Structure 1
């Protein structure tokens, strides 16, 4: 199996679950349907394209490197003439996720990687207003499934967040980093159901089915420790100072 990892970060992200017009909440991490939708957009598939269902075959896992904070936005909408309605939208702010998608067909992963570098349609993280923070950081792993890739990949949280964790814990390793994956990738873990299997993106008949998922926790080294040690010359005094660290 070949695996592609994708670093997803943006000032705001939102991954809808059960929602009504009045309140649209967000999941705590990217759903498989959101990533399948992003890949489909990169490939140039329209919402009613039957090829989208083929993307459900991708093995999927996501690692929560920086969980971010919840933000609720409310909007006033003129629902009917002389009538206003308040709606609520939930977002994740300052979050960083590492997504791993894999397939036995290496050519399919190569095609997806090339499409994400040169997307046919705009890419967004859950909602159209939430565009990625720059060019996507992509890495390929041969003979590796998404779990193996995410267990191997360095912690990808923002540098300021890495420093914050070090200041809080003074530990070289970061504990309890969650990986949420297809249940068959974590057969030793207890599974639950998530409703994010794409059945149709057609706006006239949008549907999602259930898929089994499982969760594991990993322990990763904090890159901030290595950067700090490399920056300090033992022959010179340490004058490193970040004036923003107390904010």
Structure 2
């Protein structure tokens, strides 16, 4: 008999986020959505795991992220000086997602998921949105769901900011993009090098994983009903008839 599973959902919202997958040297790019390696790193930090610790149980979790508010990509130039010699370091070009909101979900064995929820609610190390300079603006945990990854993503309320929900006020339901791991037998997808094998800073290792982009429909809590058009009653020629 297979073990029961659960789904932990996380709200990733903040003024700035940065989720790198292929950054090199002085150019530090960001993906357009949180990466599996970044979110698993957040969970490992919440549990207090050492960077060299085994993460095979976390890597086996099925992962998906819902783009509730994609945000805007911004670029920043940063300078630094060597702490000992005072020599100028190379200019660093860094990219961020500004004013973005995502719902990340991880699915796995029930005991592990419940343990991750407890860790996120009382983290050993504070959570960050990809980089230490990017703290979340809201509580991260949304809770644990039963019934599978897709049911959780459909059931979780829209987490976009109120102004974003009001902007789409004529839509009672909104279609939100989801980038998710492909399960066995689901067919070909897009391969990304974002499957973490080790967070050891001496030898970080990542494997390929297959993902697919789809969409789910969720309710807009700030939708406003459309008002029927009422033609004006003003008749500019009525005075001439009197």
TM-score range, shorter chain: 0.7 to 0.9
Structure 1 residue 81 displacement after superposition: 6.6
Structure 1 residue 76 displacement after superposition: 2.2
Is 1:152 equivalent to 2:155 in the alignment? yes
- Please, which runs of 5 or more residues in structure 2 have no aligned partner? 226-242
Conservation of the 8 A alpha-carbon contact between 1:186 and 1:215: no
For residue 222 of structure 1, the aligned residue among 220, 223, 227 is 220
Is 1:184 equivalent to 2:183 in the alignment? yes
State the partner residue of 1:102.
107
Is 1:119 equivalent to 2:123 in the alignment? yes
Q: CA 1:129 to 1:184, structure 2 compared with 1: closer, same or farther past 3 Å? A: same
State the partner residue of 1:213.
211
Tell me the distance in 2 between the aligned counterparts of 1:145 and 1:185.
15
Is 1:93 equivalent to 2:98 in the alignment? yes
Q: Deviations over 1:163-203 (max 9, x none)?
A: 1222xxx222223x111111118926x51111111111111
Q: CA 1:83 to 1:154, structure 2 compared with 1: closer, same or farther past 3 Å? A: closer
Tell me the distance in 2 between the aligned counterparts of 1:49 and 1:156.
33
Secondary structure, counterpart of 2:168 in structure 1: helix
Q: TM-score, normalised by structure 2?
A: 0.84
Q: CA 1:18 to 1:6, structure 2 compared with 1: closer, same or farther past 3 Å? A: same
Secondary structure, counterpart of 1:77 in structure 2: coil
Q: Deviations over 1:191-218 (max 9, x none)?
A: 1111111111111111111111111112
Q: Deviations over 1:17-62 (max 9, x none)?
A: 2112210000011111011101100111010012x22211111111
Q: TM-score, normalised by structure 1?
A: 0.83
Q: CA 1:78 to 1:214, structure 2 compared with 1: closer, same or farther past 3 Å? A: same
- Please, which runs of 5 or more residues in structure 1 have no aligned partner? 230-247
After TM superposition, which residue ranges in structure 1, 4 or more long, deviate above 6 angstroms?
none
Secondary structure, counterpart of 1:131 in structure 2: coil
Structure index of larger Rg? 2
Q: CA 1:83 to 1:60, structure 2 compared with 1: closer, same or farther past 3 Å? A: closer
Tell me the distance in 1 between the aligned counterparts of 2:73 and 2:52.
32
Tell me the distance in 1 between the aligned counterparts of 2:193 and 2:97.
19
**Higher helix proportion, which one?**
1
Structure 1 residue 12 displacement after superposition: 0.6
Tell me the distance in 1 between the aligned counterparts of 2:140 and 2:21.
24
For residue 42 of structure 1, the aligned residue among 39, 46, 65 is 46
Tell me the distance in 2 between the aligned counterparts of 1:183 and 1:33.
16
The 5 Å alignment of 1:25-64 reads 25-50=29-54, 52-64=55-67
* Count of residues paired in the alignment: 219
Tell me the distance in 1 between the aligned counterparts of 2:171 and 2:86.
59
State the partner residue of 1:77.
80
